[in-house]
Amino acid sequence: MAKEIRTITESIGTVDAAAEPTAPSARAEEFYAQALRELAKLDLPFLLAGTYALSAYTGLARATKDLDIVCKPTDYPRVLNHFQNLGYTVAIEDERWLGKVFQDEHFFDVIFAFWHGMAPVTDQWFESAQRIKVFGMPMRVIAPTELIWSKAFVQLRHRYDGADIAHVILKQHDQIDWRRLLAYMELHWEVLLAHLLNFRWAYPSERDCVPRWLMDELVARLKIQFERPPPLVKICRGRLFSLVDYEPAVEEWGFVDAGEGCE
């Protein structure tokens, strides 16, 4: 394990954090700092994601209610066990992708996959990770490519991360591995196209931030799709965005959930 971590660490660059989020209280900030110190003791790879990554890459300073810690699926039990042994309360909110560590009203998420287990965290997530300083400590932060991937399906009635993605593209387009992002979203290329069109509309003078080859590829796929008949099975993929908002499609309108098997 130690050899693996050294290999990952050597590939990490440094980014000057443009901003830091605002913790809800001094106690919350103390909890976050202590949590990061304890995580560093575990000698396993983890990344800081969420609002801290967004602030570092875009300069957007906003309030945050927690930390988002990203690790590999094989490592998350060790994280939860370590904090449970220290007296913290732990929970596995969804065994497919999410655990939590609590201290009173404060908590941090332990994320080992995204979209209900559809996209597990792999070694590749650590290859382009960079370092920022958080509470005076050097921390590895999720790369812009994976940050976009982690936010692409956050489209709920009360939360939409499309603007965050647009801002990451605007500020970090030269650091995004566009081919890797396309590979992540191969089955969901229409979602990627939607985000890229959103960016082009929001920042028309910055359209060149997105490679021309990528737009050509996605538009070509769309043209080919126009010539195909609609699927025979009535599928609703919307529940990858929101289980609640698209529930009527499955419960009342006869659509099959994209995550369920079909007979």
133 and 197 in a single domain? The answer is: no
Query: What are phi and psi for residue 128, nearest 5 degrees?
Result: -110, 15
* 45 and 153 both lie in a single domain: no
Whether residues 113 and 31 share a domain: the answer is yes
Domain with 57 in it: what CATH number? Answer: 3.30.460.40
Per-residue confidence (pLDDT) for residue 8, from 0 to 100: 31
Instruction: Please count the structural domains in the chain.
Output: 3
- Least confident among 17-26, 66-75, 92-101, 201-210: 17-26
| Residue 262: pLDDT band with limits 50, 70, 90 | very low
**Mean pLDDT in residue range 114-131:** 88
Q: Is 229 exposed, middle or buried (0-12, 13-18, 19+ CB in 10 A)?
A: exposed
pLDDT over 90 (residue 9): no
CA distance 64 to 54: 11
What per-residue confidence (pLDDT) applies to 13? 57
Residue type, 192: L
Domain identity same for 11 and 115: yes
Same domain? For 187 and 247 the reply is no
Whether residues 199 and 175 share a domain: the answer is yes
Final residue in a domain of this structure, among 124, 142, 160? 142
Residues 22 and 135 in one domain: yes
Q: Which of 89, 122, 142 is the last residue of a domain?
A: 142
Q: Cite the beta strand spans of the chain per DSSP E.
A: 13-14, 47-48, 67-70, 89-94, 98-103, 106-111, 113-114, 119-120, 130-134, 137-141, 155-156, 159-160, 235-236, 256-257
What is the arithmetic mean of pLDDT over 163-188? Answer: 97
**Which range marks the domain in which residue 242 is found?**
231-263
Q: Are 162 and 202 in contact (CB under 8 A)?
A: no
Q: Could you tell me if 137 and 37 are in contact, meaning their C-beta atoms sit under 8 angstroms apart?
A: yes
Q: Are residues 92 and 13 in the same domain?
A: yes
Residue 207 shares a structural domain with residue 237: no
Residues 6 and 124 in one domain: yes
Tell me what pLDDT residue 61 has. Answer: 85
Q: Please indicate, yes or no, whether residues 168 and 101 belong to a single structural domain of this protein.
A: no
Long-range contact pairs involving 82-90 (C-beta distance under 8 Å, separation at least 24): 82/38, 82/41, 82/42, 83/35, 83/38, 86/38
**Residue whose pair of structure tokens reads 């082009």 in the numeric block:** 200
Place of tokens 């220290």: 86
Query: Using one digit for the tens of pLDDT, what is the confidence trace for 227-240?
Result: 999 999 999 999 99
Residue of 16 and 113 predicted with greater confidence: 113
Check whether residue 103 and residue 47 sit in a common domain: yes
Q: Tens digit of pLDDT for each residue in 180-201?
A: 999 999 999 999 999 999 999 9
Pair of tokens at residue 5: 């971590």
Give the domain-ending residue among 80, 114, 142.
142
pLDDT recorded at residue 153: 93
**For residue 57, how far is the Cα from the chain centroid?**
14
- Indicate whether 3 pLDDT > 50: no
